[in-house]
Homo-oligomer: A and B are copies of this chain.
């Protein structure tokens, strides 16, 4: 047995390649997943270190505290998730309503496919952390705000194109985000994505739905107008 090949760490220190960006990314990946699956307080740095294959020194070098790590997850990962699954699709859609509908359906389809509901990344952390720390709350509130603003902006763009004249952008955005958040909350708790489609259908039919006649865009639109003068 050669002493050089099977050398101990001291005899042959081994080759280490510094990769700060890659290591940071790995830690964020693991932290994001664990925070979503188990929550912030239930995720220990020891578990994260083991899962990411990172030592305590390296972790501390990139993220001095657990809070700093969570803040990075919120600002870099959660915000990006909202941007990717909501903001960009809504901006790219033909209209605000169509954008909202497509996101609902895309998420519902994805959940049905993978058979497991992890919940909304933003809401998951918001519930646990927004009352615990002011910095957490500010970061999370900013993402919520940007989310709603993007939808409201899309409504305004529709309005400049002559559509959605009777729609209040802010209210519409609040309702869309609230409905999605709440539906995901229920879907996560029940581990059943069906409620997402229920909410989408109810939303599209203006809080009312006709169980006896679901088809026909013309009929739907006529009924929608008829319901205009009815409160709620």
**A16 in the interface (beta carbon within 8 A):** no
* A38 at interface, CB cutoff 8 A: yes
Interchain CA distance A59-B181 in the complex, whole Å: 36
Count A-side interface residues using an 8 Å CB cutoff.
78
Separation of A175 and B176 alpha carbons in the complex (Å): 11
Task: Specify which of A124, A171, A212, A224 lies most central, judged by the most chain B CB atoms within 10 Å of its CB.
Answer: A171
A182-B185, A189-B137, A232-B97 known; A212 vs B127 contact (CB < 8 Å) = no
Residues on B with beta carbons closer than 8 Å to the beta carbon of A186: 144, 148, 174, 177-178, 181
Which residue in B185, B191, B208 is a CB contact (below 8 Å) of A137?
A: B191
Give, as a whole number of angstroms, the nearest-CB distance from A17 to chain B: 36
Give the CA-CA distance A128 to B127 in the complex, in Å: 8
Q: Is the interface of A mostly helix, strand, loop or mixed?
A: helix
Residues of B within 8 A of A75 (CB): none
Contact indicator A207/B172 (Cβ below 8 Å): yes
Contact in complex: A210, B164 (CB < 8 Å): yes
Binds B, one of A79-87, A106-114, A213-221: A213-221
Are A209 and B172 touching (Cβ within 8 A)?
A: yes
Q: How far is the CA of A71 from the CA of B3 in the complex (A)?
A: 58
Task: Please give 20 more A-B residue pairs, beta carbons under 8 A apart, in addition to A127-B185, A171-B225, A181-B181.
Answer: A41-B41, A97-B231, A123-B185, A130-B189, A131-B188, A148-B186, A163-B210, A166-B212, A168-B208, A168-B222, A171-B198, A171-B209, A175-B179, A175-B202, A178-B181, A180-B182, A185-B185, A204-B207, A204-B231, A213-B225
